[in-house]
Structures are given as structure tokens and as C-alpha cells.
Amino acid sequence: MNKLNIPPLPAVLGSILSVQVGAAVAKGLFPALGAGSTALVRIGLSAVILLLVHRPDIGSLSKKQWQAVIPYGFCLGAMNVIFYLAIERIPLGIAVTLEFIGPLLLAVVTSKRKIDFLWILLAAAGIMLIAPWNGDGIDLLGAAMATVAGMLWAGYIVLGRRSSVVLDGTLSVTIGMIFATVVALPVGIASGGLSHFSYAMIIPAIGLALLSSAIPFSLEIEALKQMPAKTFSILMSLEPVVAALCGVVFLKEYLTLAECAAIVLVVIASTGTMLTKEQLT
């Protein structure tokens, strides 16, 4: 692949925007395909695109490399499938906010600094603002799924780091996406939505795969070459805000004042964790 030569800040922001626009496109396919089948289409097409672009020599992988990349791919697939099932039930901005709890907790656990308790309290306050205390809040199952997706995101980070030690980053993602497809396959088939796939959906499906995987992965790699990982992580804390804006613009998912406050609290908590962390492990 040719070098993009994009400055790091636009690359990170472009990656965030691409992922969330992709999620909005995916949600637009839900009425026809359902969340499970949409997840399979997105992950499967992403795997095909990455394989065609990078053409990995799969036969050359060692046992140690397979042992690292297979669980990484399974975690990647489960994370994406469960997240799609979550956004079928709750607004995109809220789902991404709840999903962010996973990486936030991972950062706090690996840091063990006293000030991190403040960030946990802020995040907890945000969750309390969107919890369905009176039965009129967000869908409880959808919120639980988004939280589980966040825990899987934390696992994805740990397994991704482990895989990147023994494999090149692009190779790890490309092969990992194959095993992610294996996870998505039974869910996509069981949901029954594939029978409704039509020729008119081919372009949106390809766009979904590009926006959700190929484009952001390329932009993130370009950004990480030019900026510290800590700076990159702080910028990624903007993702819940971008998700909420994409939800409003593309899906007409208007949020309450309490839900907006919850997003702000989680963003502050995530940013604070990265700013006060001595180094990313």
C-alpha cells in the first residue's frame, strides 16, 4: 500500500470519524439484515479487502504467531458482533460511551495511581446518568451488551499488544480478521438476515467495510508512526463525542441533557487517565 503522507492529527480524527460513520451506515442496514448479519457482512468483507491489499503469507506463520493471532481475532470478532447487537437497541453515542468503560478500566488497572480513582468516579457518575433507574431510560439489555463489548475491547487491546510482539501490525489485523469472521459467521447465519441481502446493498456493504476497517486501520497506522502512543490515546477519547454527533446527523438519535452529560464525563475520565498515566504499557 502506498504511503498516505497524512499529518497525524487529521489521520487520528479521520480514523475516528470513519469508524463512527461506518457504524451509522451499519445501523442503516439493520432494518433489512439485522445486527448479526450486518456484523458478518462488515467483518467478512473487511477480511476480504485486507487479504487482497496485504496478501499475507499465511503459510509462513510459526506456532507462536498462530497462538497469538487466533485469540486476538476471536476477541475482535466477538467485540464487533456484540457491539452491533448493542447499537440495534440503544443510540450509537451511548453505546460507544459505555463501550469506552472497558479500555478506561484497563488503563486504570495497569496504572495503579491514586488519582485514577477520580477518573473512575467520573466515569461511574456518567453511567449513573444514563442508567434506566425509572424504567424510562435506555434499553437495559442493549446497555449490558455495550458494556460487554467494552470488556472485550480491553481484551482486544491486551491480545493485540501480545500479537503485535510476534507479528507485524497489518499482518496481525489481516489474519485476525479471518478469525473474527469465524466468530461472526454463526451469529450472522442464525439471525436469518442474509436472505434479505440484495444487489442494492452491495455498495453500502463495501462502504461499511472500508469505513469500519480498511480506512481507519490505515489512518491509525500512519498516525502512530508520527505521534506518541499517549497522544494518540488521548485523541481517541473523543470517540464517544464523535459517535454521538454521527448518531444525531445520520440516524436522528437525539440525546437528552443527562445523556450528553454522561458522554462528557466519560470523555473527561478517559482523557484524564491518559494525561496522568506515566506511560502506556
pLDDT band at 279 (very low <50, low <70, confident <90, very high): very low
Q: What angle do CA 97, 101, 103 make, to 5 degrees?
A: 115
pLDDT of residue 133: 55
3-state SS track over the chain? CCCCCCCHHHHHHHHHHHHHHHHHHHHHHHHHHHHHHHHHHHHHHHHHHHHHHHCCCHHHCCHHHHHHHHHHHHHHHHHHHHHHHHHCCCCHHHHHHHHCHHHHHHHHHHHCCCCHHHHHHHHHHHHHHHCCCCCCCCCHHHHHHHHHHHHHHHHHHHHHHHHHHHCCHHHHHHHHHHHHHHHHHHHHHHHCHHHHCCHHHHHHHHHHHHHHHHHHHHHHHHHHCCCCHHHHHHHHCCHHHHHHHHHHHHHCCCCCHHHHHHHHHHHHHHHHHHHHCCCCC
Residue 73 has pLDDT above 50, yes or no: yes
pLDDT of residue 217: 78
The answer to whether the CB of 165 falls within 8 A of the CB of 67 is: no
CA distance 88 to 253: 12
pLDDT band at 277 (very low <50, low <70, confident <90, very high): low
The answer to whether the CB of 208 falls within 8 A of the CB of 26 is: yes
What letter represents residue 76's amino acid? L
The answer to whether the CB of 208 falls within 8 A of the CB of 45 is: yes
Q: How confident is the model over 5-61, as pLDDT tens digits?
A: 688 889 889 999 999 999 999 999 999 999 999 999 999 999 999 999 888 888 899
CA distance 226 to 206: 29
pTM, 2 dp: 0.89
CA distance 110 to 274: 11
Q: How confident is the model over 207-239, as pLDDT tens digits?
A: 999 999 878 877 887 777 777 777 787 888 899
Q: How confident is the model over 164-208, as pLDDT tens digits?
A: 888 887 888 899 999 999 999 999 999 999 999 999 899 999 999
